[in-house]
Structure formats: structure tokens, C-alpha cells
Amino acid sequence: MLKKRIIPKFLIRDRRLVKGLRFHENFREAGNPVSTAKVYDSYGVDELLFVDIDATPGKRLVDGSIIERVSEEVFMPFTVGGGIRNLRQIADLLRSGADKVSINTAAIENPGFIREAASRFGNQCIVVSIDYQRDADGKQRVVSHCGTESTPRAPLEWALRMQDAHAGEIMLCSIDRDGTMDGYDLDLIAEAAQRLDVPLIASSGAGTLQHCREAFAAGADAITISSMFLFTDHSPIKVRSYLATNGVSVRSQKGSHS
């Protein structure tokens, strides 16, 4: 059985680590992404996720200089997202040190892009990130452009389509739960886990140790955590210990320098 993964999620704005609420509210600065990544590296987390939240709205690519600095300082796999629109950009990010790329808006605008990217770089390098929220009718809809443009697509339907396009992993990110620390969207995680064959990453909502266990019990292969690590006393070490004690198969604690 594959080990469940714990992935700190870094949101980058102006080269600083930030965290908001529901994508657009109450942003707080949370430090330097490179030095914070080094701390998590010493904790022995499984992966890191970096998302430049201004890249797509600003019609530019994620800042590659940060990726290069991180790759020099940490020795765990990490995924990078933000403004990726073509194969050359993916190649540049992988060359800068990223192990995977996370693609959202470009997949919605051109679903064939995911198939092309997976064919060129391998499925294992391509993560499709699906941001979604409830509309006025209470239905969950996929949202693009960093949560600013709604689409008619349902998140699970879109996840299955992206799997068919050879995405290596699917990440489900609930805008309604982002930064709330009220728990993951367990219903959608459970439904998606039953129907997807590729690994499922649950994102948005972690606030307690129990929330992490619940997401894995629902079927997630990995979870991302942001606010809970940045603004509470819960560390990756504490999360890993709690999960192992409660029967979740996680890696033993070991930093990448160990």
C-alpha cells in the first residue's frame, strides 16, 4: 500500500508567503517561502506545493527564481503552479528544479494541453488542480483564473475528464473551505476517490488533526495543509504522529538531510 502524503501548500505573492480566506479575503503575510521550505524539509514532509497566486491573473508564469532557490535548499519533491500555459514553460520549471507542475486555468481553456504535457513530460509530472465552489443554486462548479471566473463544469466530471487526458494526479480545492480550517470537503473526496484511478490530493479546510485523518479515511491519497501549519501549533511532526497512531499509513519521520 502506498503511503499517504502530507503536503504543505505555499501561496506566493510578490515573492512572499501569504495566506487568505476563500481565495480573496483577509490575506496575511506568513514569511519567506525559501526559509519556510527549509523548515518543512527538516520536518521530513513528503512534498511541497508552491502556487504563485498572481501569475494567472497577471498573465505571467510563476517566478522561476524562487523555484531555483528552493531547489538549492531542499531535497524533497515539490510541485509548482501559477500561469502555466505551454510546454516550454513546463520544461523551464522542471529545469529550474520542480518535480511536478500544477495546471488549472490552461486545462480549462485547452483540455488537450494536459494530454500534450503528459505525453511530453510523463503523467507523473502533471497535476491538474481543480478549484471549485457552490454557485447561487447550491451546485458545485469549477472555477478558473484563481477563483475569479466560473464555469458550468462539475468538479468530479472535470476530474474524470482530466484523468482521461492522462493527468498524473488530481487536486480538489474547495474555495468555500479555503482558509476556514473547518475541515475538508469529505463528500466530494469520497465520491472522487471511488471513481478516480489516479492519486487524489485533498486541498482546503485542514484545521485539526482529526480533519487530516478524516480526509484520508474518505479516500484521499494526499492532503495539502496551509493555514493549520502557518497559524496554529500543529506541525508536520505532530500530524504524522497523530495519523500513524490512528492507523493511517504514513512515512516514518525523517528529514531529507537525515
Q: Does domain 5-245 have CATH number 1.10.10.10?
A: no
Domain boundaries defined on the chain: 5-245
- Round to whole Å and give the CA distance between 110 and 96: 25
The whole-number pLDDT of residue 60 equals 83
Give per-residue pLDDT as tens, 88-127.
999 999 999 999 999 999 999 999 999 999 999 999 999 9
On average, the pLDDT of the chain sits at 92
pLDDT at residue 255 tops 80: no
The whole-number pLDDT of residue 253 equals 64
- The lowest-confidence range among 42-56, 166-180, 191-205 is 42-56
pLDDT at residue 30 tops 80: no
pLDDT at residue 79 tops 60: yes
pLDDT at residue 26 tops 80: no
Indicate the pTM of the whole model: 0.94
The whole-number pLDDT of residue 254 equals 62
Give per-residue pLDDT as tens, 118-146.
999 999 999 999 999 998 888 999 999 88
The whole-number pLDDT of residue 258 equals 44
CA distances from 131 to 5, 15, 17, 55, 174 (A): 20, 22, 20, 16, 6
Please name the residue ranges forming H helices in the chain.
33-43, 64-73, 87-96, 105-109, 112-121, 155-164, 186-195, 209-218, 227-231, 236-245
